[in-house]
């Protein structure tokens, strides 16, 4: 298990275990052949005859495999037949033994597992495109894997649970992800999964297992084995895991409970920031989310687990009075004044002063309980603001039907965060900058974005002004054109019209230009974070990839730039 799997050595291991049957077969043949050579035979005419090795080998060979045979070259005498009898049993039994043993070795699950791993590992070594390693195919892993493979990333998935591996095989994912059935905690398995790929093609490692210990192990070995790879680690339970990951330079740490509670607290202090974070950190929103306005006052938190604790802390920080309802106060140690109970019965909720409350958080780890809490609480106080924790993917329609104001889905949140960190790291940097600004500032940005989008949620993307991604831009720069941000905003077919998008951030080497003005001059290598309609991206792409359109949006003239067309049609188009 410990050494790196390689197919050749695996076969040698099997050969080693088959030594005994091999030797038994050789011995049976050798003894039988020697017997036939030694026993005197009789010719047709009665004269004595001695079989030689060649004929003995010939005879034993076909005797062992097919018992319907003749006696060659002369009919055998009694002694020879006696020996034949012995040889038949000796060779047939030894063959039988060897074959069953070989089949058992080959059918051994440990061996087939080993073979499979070495096959996948071989495929990984032969990869010639960048890839990500995803460790753990649980609820969160599923979403991450599906999304990343749908947008065209090559993935290597490390999962030790055979059940999950089977699910993964049947999942029918695009882009042929490679499934490595192994334990991500073991560094040698990570090596076999390609973490230090010889062409440096491993772009990043995503540790999204349900177990903190596994994620920590992956984060540590990933950073040690390949310092260049981006490592994203998920923290489920323990704060010290996050600290430990940080000390190993893990690039991004995802703690869904922490993130959600922090994000929710923004709704109190700065609804603009709340909305901005909501828009930019979700990759799977279809409809535009309306701003939420939870009121300050008495809040009830049902369940003092990982989410309950974070929510309690954040809500109190925002100046709310918080009552905790907890079924097992001896274990989770809620603050004094907490109510014992599950929160699913009216009696407990009344004890928690539901009539006076403005909001309730159903934060237990059981979906049925959470739904029951929300429905019961709504009956007792219809004006409540409800936050529900959805643990299972399947419960989503139920939470929607119960009229939950905000649903916390741990796995979706993890997936969204991971995807954002990997695909648009600029968003992450932008939000970091934006979150230090005043609420007033955020409101302005939100209204600016709202002005360009319709009923769909805003879409954000990064435009790279590089040779590969925007060839027309770099060409135009080479021809000496000055290109401003305003030019990129222009419609490629009618430059008087403006695309429905806003630039949020320009990254120029290590410098960040927050909310650049329209007359900002753009340079090769700039990366721009845009937010707006999905359609605007397509149009902008068509500009930066086409020399004529690029020339048109900058100068307003339809110049023919392609030298061949210039020769053929020298006249300038109107």
Partner 1 sequence: MNMEKVVFAFFTLLALTLNFGFVLGDITDPAQHHAYELFAALVVSLIATVMKFGDRTPVGSVLLASSLVADLQLIAAALVWAVVTQGMGETLTAGTTASIVSLSSGAVLANVVSVVLLMMETFVARR
Which one, 16 or 478, has the nearer CB to partner 1?
A: 16
- Does 243 engage in binding with partner 1 (CB under 8 A)? no
DSSP symbols for 13-43: HHHHHTHHHHHHHHHHHHHHHHHHHHSEEE-
Would you give the binding string for partner 1 spanning residues 19-48, x where CB under 8 A is met?
Answer: x--xx--xx-xx--xx--x-----------
Which one, 27 or 82, has the nearer CB to partner 1?
A: 27
- Does 16 engage in binding with partner 1 (CB under 8 A)? yes
* The pair of three-digit structure tokens given for residue 502, joined into one six-digit string: 């806003």
Which one, 33 or 488, has the nearer CB to partner 1?
A: 33
> Could you say which residues in the range 55-94 bind partner 1, by CB under 8 A?
55
- Does 106 engage in binding with partner 1 (CB under 8 A)? no
Report the run of H or E that residue 463 belongs to, with start and end. strand 459-464
Kindly indicate which of the ranges 8-16, 298-306, 371-379, 566-574 contains the residues binding partner 1, using the contact rule CB under 8 A.
8-16
Name, in order, each residue with C-beta under 8 angstroms of 132's C-beta and a sequence gap of 6 or more.
148, 153, 154, 155, 156, 202, 203, 204, 205, 206, 422
Which one, 16 or 509, has the nearer CB to partner 1?
A: 16
State the minimum distance, in angstroms, from the CB of residue 26 to partner 1.
5
- Does 119 engage in binding with partner 1 (CB under 8 A)? no
Strand 501-508 to strand 459-464: parallel, antiparallel, or no bridges (unpaired)? unpaired
Structure-derived torsion over alpha carbons of residues 566, 567, 571, 574, reported in degrees to the nearest 10: -30
Which one, 16 or 567, has the nearer CB to partner 1?
A: 16
- Does 331 engage in binding with partner 1 (CB under 8 A)? no
How far, CA to CA in Å, does 21 sit from each of 16, 85, 89, 92?
A: 10, 21, 15, 12
Match 């609820």 to its residue by tokens.
Answer: 139
- Does 514 engage in binding with partner 1 (CB under 8 A)? no
Which residue among 1, 4, 43, 52 contacts partner 1 (CB under 8 A)? 52
- Single out the residue of 346, 395, 332 nearest to residue 368, CA to CA: 395
271-281 and 256-269 are packed helices; what angle lies between their axes, rounded to 10 degrees? 140
- Single out the residue of 486, 491, 496 nearest to residue 528, CA to CA: 486
- Does 1 engage in binding with partner 1 (CB under 8 A)? no
DSSP symbols for 479-540: TT---BHHHHTB-SS-TTSB-SEEEEEEEETTEEEES--TTPBP-TT-EEEEEE-HHHHHHH
CB–CB of 295/358 below 8 Å?
yes
Instruction: Look at residue 425 and give its three-state secondary structure.
Output: helix
Which residue among 7, 17, 318, 450 contacts partner 1 (CB under 8 A)? 17
Q: Burial letters for 357-388: b for 16+ Cβ neighbours within 10 Å, e otherwise?
A: bbbbbbbbebbebbbbbbbbbbeebeebbbbb
State the minimum distance, in angstroms, from the CB of residue 42 to partner 1.
20
Q: How many residues bind partner 1 (CB under 8 A)?
A: 21
Kindly indicate which of the ranges 49-57, 260-268, 498-506, 547-555 contains the residues binding partner 1, using the contact rule CB under 8 A.
49-57
Which residue among 1, 13, 239, 566 contacts partner 1 (CB under 8 A)? 13
- Does 18 engage in binding with partner 1 (CB under 8 A)? yes
Nearest-angstrom CA–CA distance, 87 and 468: 74
Which residue among 53, 86, 89, 393 contacts partner 1 (CB under 8 A)? 53
Which one, 55 or 353, has the nearer CB to partner 1?
A: 55
State the minimum distance, in angstroms, from the CB of residue 5 to partner 1.
13
Which one, 26 or 346, has the nearer CB to partner 1?
A: 26
Which one, 56 or 505, has the nearer CB to partner 1?
A: 56
Site of interaction with partner 1 (CB under 8 A):
9, 12-13, 15-19, 22-23, 26-27, 29-30, 33-34, 37, 52-55
């Amino acid at each position: 298990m410990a050494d790196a799997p390689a197919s050749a050595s695996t076969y040698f291991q099997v050969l080693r275990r088959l030594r005994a049957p091999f030797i038994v077969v050789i011995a049976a043949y050798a003894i039988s052949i020697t017997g036939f050579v030694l026993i005197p035979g009789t010719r047709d005419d009665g004269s004595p005859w001695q079989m030689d090795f060649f004929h003995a080998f010939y005879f034993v060979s076909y005797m062992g495999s097919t018992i319907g045979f003749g006696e060659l070259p002369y009919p055998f005498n009694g002694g020879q037949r006696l020996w034949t009898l012995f040889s038949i049993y000796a060779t047939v039994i030894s063959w039988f033994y060897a074959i069953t043993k070989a089949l058992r070795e080959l059918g051994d699950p440990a061996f087939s597992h080993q073979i499979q791993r070495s096959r996948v590992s071989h495929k990984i070594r032969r990869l010639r495109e960048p890839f990500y390693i995803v460790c753990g195919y649980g609820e969160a892993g599923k979403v991450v894997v599906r999304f990343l493979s749908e947008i065209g990333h090559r993935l290597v998935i490390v999962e030790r649970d055979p059940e999950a591996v089977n699910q993964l095989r049947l999942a029918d994912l695009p882009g042929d992800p490679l499934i490595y059935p192994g334990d991500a905690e073991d560094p040698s398995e990570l090596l076999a999964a390609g973490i230090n790929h010889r062409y440096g093609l491993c772009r990043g490692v995503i540790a999204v297992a349900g177990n903190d210990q596994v994620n920590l192990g992956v984060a540590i070995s990933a950073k040690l084995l390949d310092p260049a790879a981006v490592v994203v680690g998920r923290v489920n339970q323990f704060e010290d895991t996050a600290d430990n990951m940080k000390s190993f330079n893990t690039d991004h740490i995802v703690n869904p409970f922490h993130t959600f509670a922090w994000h929710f607290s923004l709704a109190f202090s700065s609804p603009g920031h709340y909305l901005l974070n909501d828009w930019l950190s979700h990759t799977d929103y279809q409809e535009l989310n309306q701003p939420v306005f939870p009121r300050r006052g008495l809040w009830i938190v049902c369940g003092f687990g990982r989410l309950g604790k974070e929510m309690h802390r954040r809500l109190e920080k925002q100046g709310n009075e918080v009552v905790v309802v907890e079924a097992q106060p001896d274990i989770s140690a809620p603050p004094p004044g907490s109510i014992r109970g599950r929160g699913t019965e009216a009696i407990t909720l009344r004890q928690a002063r539901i009539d006076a409350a403005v909001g309730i958080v159903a934060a237990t780890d059981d979906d049925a309980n959470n739904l029951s809490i929300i429905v019961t609480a709504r009956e007792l106080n219809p004006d409540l603001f409800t936050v529900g924790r959805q643990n299972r993917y399947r419960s989503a329609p139920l939470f929607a039907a119960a009229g939950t104001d905000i649903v916390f889905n741990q796995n979706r949140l993890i997936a969204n965060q991971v995807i954002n960190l990997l695909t648009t790291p600029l968003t992450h940097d932008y939000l970091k900058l934006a979150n230090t600004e005043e609420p007033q500032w955020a409101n302005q940005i939100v209204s600016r974005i709202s002005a360009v989008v319709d009923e769909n949620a805003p879409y954000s993307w990064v435009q790279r002004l590089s040779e590969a991604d925007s060839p027309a831009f770099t060409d135009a720069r080479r021809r000496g054109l000055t290109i401003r941000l305003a030019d990129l905003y222009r419609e490629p077919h009618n430059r008087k019209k403006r695309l429905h998008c806003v630039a949020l951030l320009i990254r120029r080497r290590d410098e960040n230009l927050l909310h650049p003005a329209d007359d900002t001059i753009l340079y090769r290598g700039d990366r721009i974070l845009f937010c707006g309609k999905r359609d605007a991206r397509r149009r902008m792409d068509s500009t930066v990839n086409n020399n004529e359109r690029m020339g048109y949006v900058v100068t307003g003239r339809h110049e023919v730039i392609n030298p061949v067309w210039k020769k053929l049609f020298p006249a300038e188009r109107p």
